[in-house]
């Protein structure tokens, strides 16, 4: 069955905006879209403080009827954005975001993303997986995903990161997910790769940062075990948080059972964070996020 362009979910665009809050922002954006024939289908907004705070907005609109080509649309909207000091982006949904994955030996988050992509739950292209170990190459091959091994040691880390940057740029990725990639990324890597990087941390941050939070949680006798998906910054495990969740545990747990329960939470939290990012529902404000 042929889908009408007006109803085709791939014939849409998403506009995200952050700027100082003031009167007239919603009206200016809505009037601009209406003037040029766009049909708004979703609109979300949030103000941190109507008196001098920050304003955030996400609008999704159909392109059918739009009287401007992409370059002309963006040039015209820039004139609307300028007096409001907007930081803004527009993404056309006919172009799936290109995800690069970094993974080590743990497979649970990695495989979950591959399965969700195959089922159509994540609207992404997946041009490259990079690992510092060869263990998961067979799994990647089973899903038809390119897999490159770049070993990392203390001695070769700068050279290894330079090669990873080269590979990701060659693949044209729009963002990267650390699906339990057990290396700390340097500031040079983050600046060099130039795209957002999402990490899944196996703890409910800010508690139990570092490499072995399940052992730390066990020794502390926690009653909840959780996971946190966040954007990666140079400060370890301290980037803006996108998604979190927890599972209730009891005194009967061992470090091993805590880990099994935690991995279930990790999968769900990472999938929700990736989906939110892919759908342009995450706006970063300093070290916090607004998630529509």
237 tagged catalytic: yes
What are the structure tokens assigned to 18, written together?
């952050």
Name the catalytic one among 237, 245, 264, 280.
Answer: 237
Closest CA to 203 of 261, 253, 285, 282: 261
Closest CA to 113 of 281, 231, 278: 278
Phi, psi of 21 (to 5 degrees): -75, 135
Give the 3-state secondary structure of residue 47: strand
Are 47 and 19 spatial neighbours (Cβ–Cβ below 8 Å)? no
Sheet holding 12-20, edge to edge: 39-47, 54-62, 12-20, 87-92
What are the structure tokens assigned to 101, written together?
């994955």
Q: DSSP label at 23?
A: T
Cβ-count burial of 221 within 10 angstroms (0-12 exposed, 13-18 middle, 19+ buried)?
exposed
Pairing state of beta strands 175-178 and 197-201? parallel
Give the 3-state secondary structure of residue 273: helix
Measure the CA–CA gap between 288 and 159, rounded to whole angstroms: 32
Give the 3-state secondary structure of residue 274: helix
Q: How many residues does the chain have?
A: 292
Cα-based angle 95, 274, 26 (whole degrees, multiple of 5): 70
Catalytic amino acids? 237
């Amino acid at each position: 069955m042929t889908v009408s362009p007006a109803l085709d979910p791939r014939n849409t665009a998403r506009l995200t905006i952050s700027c100082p809050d003031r009167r007239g922002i919603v009206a200016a954006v809505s009037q601009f879209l209406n003037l040029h024939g766009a049909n708004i289908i979703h609109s979300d907004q949030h103000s941190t403080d109507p008196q001098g705070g920050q304003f955030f907005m996400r609008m999704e609109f159909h392109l059918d009827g739009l009287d401007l080509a992409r370059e002309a649309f963006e040039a015209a909207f820039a004139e609307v954005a300028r007096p409001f000091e907007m930081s803004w982006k527009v993404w056309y949904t006919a172009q799936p975001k290109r995800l690069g994955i970094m993974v080590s030996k743990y497979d649970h988050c990695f495989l979950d993303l591959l399965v969700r992509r195959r089922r159509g739950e994540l609207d992404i292209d997946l041009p490259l997986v990079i690992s510092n170990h060869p263990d998961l190459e067979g799994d990647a091959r089973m899903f038809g995903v390119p897999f490159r091994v770049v070993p990392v040691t203390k001695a070769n880390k700068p050279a290894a990161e330079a090669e990873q940057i080269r590979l990701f740029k060659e693949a044209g990725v729009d963002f990267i997910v650390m699906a339990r990639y057990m290396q700390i990324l340097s500031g040079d890597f983050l600046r060099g790769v130039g795209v957002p990087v999402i990490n899944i941390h196996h703890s409910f941050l800010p508690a139990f940062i570092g490499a072995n939070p399940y052992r730390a949680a066990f020794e502390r006798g926690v009653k909840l075990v959780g996971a946190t998906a966040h954007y990666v910054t140079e400060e370890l495990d301290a980037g803006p948080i996108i998604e979190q969740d927890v599972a209730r545990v009891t005194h009967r747990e061992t470090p091993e059972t805590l880990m099994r329960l935690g991995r279930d939470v990790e999968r769900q939290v990472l999938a929700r964070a990736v989906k939110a990012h892919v759908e342009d529902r995450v706006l970063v404000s300093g070290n916090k996020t607004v998630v529509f």
